[in-house]
Amino acid sequence: SESPEERPIRQRLLVVANRLPVSAVRKGEDSWSLEISAGGLVSALLGVKEFEARWIGWAGVNVPDEGGKKTLTEALAEKRCIPVFLDEETVHQYYNGYCNNILWPLFHYLGLPQEDRLATTRSFQSQFAAYKKANQMFADVVLEHYEEGDVVWCHDYHLMFLPKCLKDYNSGMKVGWFLHTPFPSSEIHRTLPSRSELLRAVLSADLVGFHTYDYARHFVSACTRILGLEGTPDGVEDQGRVTRVAAFPIGIDSGRFIRALEIPEVQENIRELKARFAGRKVMLGVDRLDMIKGIPQKILAFEKFLEENPDWRDKVVLLQIAVPTRTDVPEYQKLTSQVHEIVGRINGRFGTLTAVPIHHLDRSLDFHGLCALYAITDVALVTSLRDGMNLVSYEYVACQDSKKGVLILSEFAGAAQSLGAGAILVNPWNITEVAAAIGQALKMPPEEREKRHRHNFLHVTTHTAQQWAEFFVSELNDTVIEAQQRIRK
């Protein structure tokens, strides 16, 4: 093995995201339990290992007292995480309000709040003010921990102001920003009252990254049409300064999933699940309970399939894992009751005394339980109405090397661009089409399943989270060096 002197110095990375990879739950005065957070961003970031990385973000919990702050900071330090403490009012205005009631739906083509989602001008303005204030609070923590030469990598729609806060303080800092959601057509972004301020703030970064080429193109169009700036092959130019804009499709740590399937506890779980659902094909959905995931539409498509195919009624089961998320936002509360109502109706309609067609779980599974479930699934249904990438589709493929199940995938998920050739692509709004895809998937001959799976498995195992991060960080380093050379000339 290498001696310490021979070992290359690893790049120090400050990864800043609203959500830390672990979320805290207070167990007592001084004790905290840390649980892995949900969502695609965390799933990918957990796969990034070969850096000297520190994570800066919100631990998902209100911490009013000094004692709590101290003990939580210590507990998080063991995980290389550094907390940003947000007070309740800021969480309400910035996270529930501006991030999740305004930016999130807008970036997923659901538009700005209307009717009961209507934010009055006053609350819109106060939420935007809270958003900027929160971004400044993240910047303050970054500055406390920053060392010359560090790469600061800001993530997602929560932190669009952060590159500006950091560059205002230190224009020499290497700052990248990456969006984990779609960036919508410039015609959609145009409707946002703070459209220009947000774009300019993002352009303060040296490198701006998206999952797909389309999202990058939409962003450049928004800058040219809304700000009147010049789009170049490299990105966006403003008075001689270029912000590089490019696509960096994310991946997962596929090895972690593949290895998990070898663990005796997981194998035991697989055996139990197989016995439990013997004689029935298993269809699976795993989503955060979010309107962008198209859960009601997916369940209605399953109902249509059962309606049209009476022979299949006792031969197939749909397991839907719906992980609760953003439960303080009214839209999400409404979605929960809507989904429960539909599931109840369909189970009443097609259930028997001994079996129901849909098992709906309002909770997350632990990592090993999830791997076992992926492994026994015949058909996975990922039918998001819009989705930045969707890593559930990647996780499913990684766990399917022995079964070679079928992936039904929304054409509006970023993943459609990478797994499209192996999956059955559908328009999730077209319930008849999704019902037909379910039939096609359940009846697909083994040779075709094998061929489709090969394609996807190869992609998922060769485009990993680690490679994604290395590619982004090296591009950021190069961009900064090129910019410095341009200035010297």
CB of 314 to ligand G6P, least distance (A): 36
- Nearest-CA neighbor of 235 among 187, 177, 159, 162? 177
Out of 19, 108, 218, 360, point to the residue binding ligand G6P (CB under 6 A): 19
Q: In the window 150-169, what residues touch ligand G6P (CB under 6 A)?
A: 156
Among the listed residues 176, 196, 177, 187, the one whose alpha carbon sits nearest the alpha carbon of residue 221:
187
Closest CB to ligand G6P: residue number:
39
Beta carbon nearer to ligand G6P, 326 or 453: 326
User: CA angle, corner 475, sides to 471 and 476, nearest 5?
Assistant: 120
Q: Which stretch binds ligand G6P (CB under 6 A): 39-47, 146-154, 185-193, 210-218?
A: 39-47
Angle at 138 between CA 62 and CA 66, to 5 degrees: 40
Q: How many C-beta neighbours within 10 Å does residue 61 have? A: 16
Q: Contact, 168 vs 136, CB < 8 A? A: no
Task: Collapse the DSSP code of 231 into the 3-class scheme (helix H, G, I; strand E, B; otherwise coil) and give the result.
Answer: strand
User: Strand pairing partners for 380?
Assistant: 284, 407
The Cα angle at residue 462 between residues 459 and 463, in degrees rounded to 5: 80
Kindly report the CA angle at 318 between 312 and 320, in degrees rounded to 5? 170
Q: Is 325 in the site for ligand G6P (CB under 6 A)?
A: yes
Amino acid found at 338: Q
Taking phi over 0 as left and psi of -120 to 50 as alpha, with beta for the rest, 16 belongs to beta
Closer to ligand G6P by Cβ: residue 41 or 444: 41
Closer CB to ligand G6P, residue 32 or residue 94? 94
- Helix ranges (DSSP H) in 183-248: 186-189, 195-203, 213-227
Using the minimum distance from each CB to ligand G6P, give the nearer residue, 290 or 378. Answer: 290
Q: Which is nearer to ligand G6P, 38 or 483 (CB)?
A: 38
Min dist CB 6 to ligand G6P, Å, is: 38
**Residues touching ligand G6P: how many (CB under 6 A)?**
10
Q: Are 355 and 313 in contact (CB under 8 A)?
A: no
Segment contacting ligand G6P by CB under 6 A, of 37-45, 238-246, 368-376, 404-412: 37-45
- Minimum CB–partner distance for residue 473 and ligand G6P (Å): 19
Give me the least distance between CB of 69 and ligand G6P, in Å please: 21
For ligand G6P, the closer CB: 335 or 444: 335
Nearest CB to ligand G6P, comparing residues 288 and 453: 288
Two tokens, residue 486: 């341009």
Looking at the chain, the number of H-run helices and the number of E-run strands are 19, 17
Is 459 a binding residue for ligand G6P by CB under 6 A? The answer is: no
Going by DSSP bridges, is the β-strand pair 22-26/32-36 parallel, antiparallel, or unpaired? antiparallel
Element (H, E) at 244: strand 241-247
Binding track over 393-432 against ligand G6P, x by CB under 6 A:
----------------------------------------
The least CB distance from residue 38 to ligand G6P, in Å, is: 6
By CB under 6 A, tell whether 181 contacts ligand G6P.
yes
Under the criterion CB under 6 A, does residue 180 sit at the interface with ligand G6P? yes
| DSSP annotation of 36 | E
Q: Which CB, 181 or 384, lies closer to ligand G6P?
A: 181
Site map (CB under 6 A) of ligand G6P, residues 41-80, x = contact: x---------------------------------------
Nearer to ligand G6P, 104 or 257 (CB): 104
**Identity at 272, one-letter amino acid code:** E
Q: Which is nearer to ligand G6P, 370 or 441 (CB)?
A: 370
User: Closer to ligand G6P at the Cβ: 184 or 405?
Assistant: 184
Q: Is 230 exposed, middle or buried (0-12, 13-18, 19+ CB in 10 A)?
A: middle
Least distance CB 267 / ligand G6P (angstroms): 30
When asked if residue 40 is in the footprint of ligand G6P (CB under 6 A), the reply is yes
> Under the criterion CB under 6 A, does residue 38 sit at the interface with ligand G6P?
yes
Which of 164, 244, 326, 452 touches ligand G6P by CB under 6 A? 326
In the complex, minimum distance from the CB of residue 155 to ligand G6P, in angstroms, rounded to a whole number:
7
**Residue 290 near residue 325, CB atoms below 8 Å:** yes
Determine the distance from the C-alpha atom of residue 337 to the mean position of all C-alpha atoms in its chain, rounded to a whole number.
23
The amino acid that residue 353 corresponds to is: L
Whether 180 and 388 have beta carbons less than 8 Å apart is answered as yes
Q: Which amino acid is at 344?
A: G
Stretch that binds ligand G6P, among 32-40, 48-56, 209-217, 476-484 (CB under 6 A): 32-40
Query: Footprint of ligand G6P on this chain (CB under 6 A)?
Result: 19, 38-41, 156, 180-181, 325-326
